[in-house]
Chain A
Amino acid sequence: MPELRMRVNGKEVTVEVEPDDLLAYVLRDKLELIGTKIGCGEGECGACTVLVDGQSVTSCIYPALKAQGRDVTTIEGLRRNEELHVIQQAFIDCAASQCGYCTPGMIMSAKALLDANPNPSREEIEAGISGNLCRCTGYYQIVEAIHLAAQRLAERGEEGSHGS
């Protein structure tokens, strides 16, 4: 079996994978990172979104071996010690999660968006999560949460600390 070496949430990991293994399954089944959800297995719903070298990818159709030598961030990698990530806290404050199954992927898409564009317009937020389906919330509170997170990150930036 080929060996996959990558950094997951800042930690070096080495796992044996089949050549046709997909990243989401490796994360969930081999690394027990169950926060990455599989909603469709076809890259349609975005529940499995993770970051690879800072770019958001739908990990359910992303060949695991493509992550060779790369940096992978999952929902489990956002929290810093006792403190939730700004986006996570904003999702709580805006009640942006109901059943919660889309939530990790939604937050990872939001992270990719805010990392690239710290001050997005409503249209840009919508474009950033248009690949993430949610069946519960109607999205408004999610958009509001991402907006709030951007605001808080900007405030923090002015104070000279890092939000992410």
Chain B
Amino acid sequence: MEAKFIGQSLPRYDIASKVQGQRKYPQDFNMEGQLHAQVVWSAYPHARVLKIDARQAEALPGVVKVITWRDVPVNEYGINIMDQPVLVGEGAKVRWVGDRIAIIVAESEKIARQARDLVRVEYEPLSVVMDPRQAMKPGAPLVHEERDSNILKHIPIRRGDIEEGFAQADVIVEGYYVTDAVEHAYMQPEAALGYIDEQGRVTVIAAAQWPHDDLHQIAHMLSLPEDQVREIVPAIGGAFGGREDMYIQHLAALAAFCTRRPVKMVWSRTESVQRSGKRHPFYMRHKTGATREGKLTAVEIEIISDAGAYASTSIPILSNAASFSAGPYVVPNARVDAYTVYTNNAVTMAMRGFGATQPPIAYELQMDKLAGKLGMDPVEIRMKNLFEEGSIAITGNRMSHGVGIKETLRQAALAAEWREENGHWRKPALPPAEAPHLRRGIGVACAYKNVCYSMGFDDTSTAEVTLNLDRSGEIVRALVKIGASEVGQGVWTALAQIAAEALRVDIRKVNLALVDTAQVPSAGSSSASRHVYMSGNAVLRACQRALAKRERVLHEETGESKVTVTYTYHGREARATTPLDPETGQCEPHISYSYGTQIALVEVDTETGEVQVLKLWAANDMGRAINPQMIYGQVAGGVHMGVGYALTEHFIQKEGRALTKSFSEYYIPTVRDMPREFVNILVEVPDPSGPFGAKGLGETPTLSTAPAILNAIHDATGVWLDGVPATPERVFMACRKSL
């Protein structure tokens, strides 16, 4: 049967309310009699708290309560390891400037702000652990004293024999690449409303990527059974990984729990920039060998990632980074040592790519450096090494189920006017720049990323589908209940399209229930590009079973006017993943993959160091395009983040303190900073286990932008920028040194 809703550019279900300003985000909720809360932040990146004196703050008229560590039933939380104190107590340590000393609850926001300046805290400052490379060394001051080292995790991967691999190589390239921390910079700052609901449940309205995990953590913190806690997720103003961990949910819940009144908390943009988690800075050392024919023989890679003060998801991010560290290429011999290390810098966490975003900066520049040494075209050297169906990755697993990476490169290269003759590829001649100080260049980068949770984590999503039937058994309305957070990516529209397709009903008859943990089952997080695959499979199967149940109802004439099916899809139904072997890293790492290639044409102003992307081609393999118009937006948005990552976004930390405060210092690209021309190419190589062949898309479009731009800068100027961001200062200095 021909698809009716899959592949259609239907308008997203929430867009009419969004263009009218009617959609409510957490800051748009207010309740009768609500109080306002503000956080007293740590004044030091590393210090022991000696004394907290809140008497003056408490005495201020309008202050209802100053909540400190003594008020927290179980003073710990964390998405992966519960290593974070909710509020830091006397005698304990603050480990970064995002640690919290107290929460002021007052009758107005103004009073709460005044009162927070009246809380007197005595600290004993400790030496600040700033650089993970120093922090790894024995004898470095410890961020967590109960551990014997700041190294949170070391992940080795061993495949083949690198000595033999390098011996076979005709050329060897070595490089060292550094990436800075990145701020998510979602447009909607942190806000939440906590209250006690009519059934006595501690309830919080917040923008959350993983509501059911928050529920678990809040219940733990308050020492309550999970059915006494509730999280409601309204519209979310962007997330990008930054709302996967709890950031404000627990604080609003705690304030409501302590005061038994509604409490609203809203952060300023400066709080958002300085006190929220970031993408990990990486330090990557690569040695890559290839034969004269351009075949890769060996890689030796060291990755050091800055975990910041607390674990968050640093370990799975590191696992991902290690598994992707050699790129989407066949490399028979590999030795990878990846470390993530505690410091007193900003906590680092999930951000679009989850460990797959930094490695391409290294492996894609290595590919171009090899191509340069071999006198080979950059497309050609990639074509010789890219994964195909059945290729073996450095983790020993066989790549399969729709390996579209070569096709993305082929289509992007042809679109950018590369020419292929007898297996040889030739770069296009570029139109000349208009002045001698302007240099043009073109660069290519390929990348890939897992879809769904990885490495033995049992990924599941549960959908509940109810069909309301008329007397003849026709579906009047279908209601889908699923705890999938709509962060702006369009998951609800994609799931509605999948449901309508499966049920063969008009999509206007399909409704999705609001995400409220008291009402909808867990779908896991809006991350890992996973909802179309995981939740799509859950919805698809629940719909199919609901149709079968309806047949029985009609056949047996039971008179029922409603059928409901709840179905939990397990990722292992299609493919079971396994953890990395602790010594060799060999495993079946991921369920499915999405692949992408980007090509950037840039113009470098060698007098100012400014780089303008003139044109960008993005080819992505997402298996099956559920909604092409929404995919266009996802890809363009991914490129936006990639351009910022490459050129402008610089989060500066000095001695554990964030110097970057706001959008006037943290430059996310404006409309004028985007590539002047943008070409979006959809490549559909289906994964048969995905719903209608779909894999996922959310993250891959961000991965190859920055390395494509860096390779283009080199093509234009002959200068390598071995890291990001390539700010005008850095580009100018690099050009001045070598031009």
A contacts, CB < 8 Å to B: 28, 33-42, 44-45, 47, 74-76, 78-79, 84, 88-89, 91-93, 95, 97-104, 107, 126-127, 129-143
Contact = CB atoms under 8 A, between A and B. Distances in A.
Interface stretch (B16-24, B158-166, B283-291, B496-504): B16-24
A101 B633 contact: no
A84 B20 contact: yes
The 6 closest A-B pairs by CB, nearest first: A35-B21, A99-B488, A138-B636, A101-B237, A100-B18, A75-B21
A134 B641 CA distance: 10
B19, B188, B239 interface centre (most CB from chain A within 10 Å): B19
Given A101-B237, A138-B638, 9 more contacts: A34-B28, A35-B20, A37-B187, A42-B269, A75-B20, A98-B489, A135-B185, A136-B633, A139-B640
B488 A100 contact: yes
Contact of A137 (B11, B237, B268, B640): B640
B351 to A, nearest CB: 12
B683 to A, nearest CB: 19
B15 interface: yes
Nearest to B269: A40
B519 interface: no
Nearest to B489: A98
B637 interface: yes
A136 B671 contact: no
Contact of A47 (B187, B487, B668, B670): B187
A38 B488 CA distance: 17
A9 to B, nearest CB: 11
Interface string B669-709: 01110100010000000000000000000000000000000
B187 A133 contact: yes
A96 B187 CA distance: 15
Interface residues of B, number: 53
A137 B19 contact: no
B127 interface: no
Contacts of A95: 9, 11-12, 15, 629-630, 632-633
A141 B632 contact: yes
Nearest to B636: A138
A99 B676 CA distance: 24
B640 A138 contact: yes
Nearest to B25: A101
B308 interface: no
B238 interface: yes
A39 B188 contact: yes
A100 B23 contact: yes
Contacts of B629: 95
A76 B21 contact: yes
A78 B21 CA distance: 10
A23 to B, nearest CB: 15
A130 B672 contact: yes
A99 B187 contact: yes
B640 A101 contact: no
A91 B15 contact: yes
B187 A39 contact: yes
A34 B26 CA distance: 11
B569 interface: no
A137 to B, nearest CB: 5
B14 interface: yes
A75 to B, nearest CB: 4
A141 B187 contact: no
A49 B21 CA distance: 12
23 contacts: A37-B25, A39-B237, A40-B662, A42-B664, A44-B269, A44-B662, A44-B664, A47-B187, A74-B21, A84-B19, A88-B19, A95-B629, A95-B632, A97-B18, A99-B186, A100-B18, A130-B672, A135-B185, A135-B641, A136-B637, A138-B639, A138-B640, A138-B674
Contacts of A84: 16, 19-20
Nearest to A133: B668
Contact of A44 (B9, B12, B663): B663
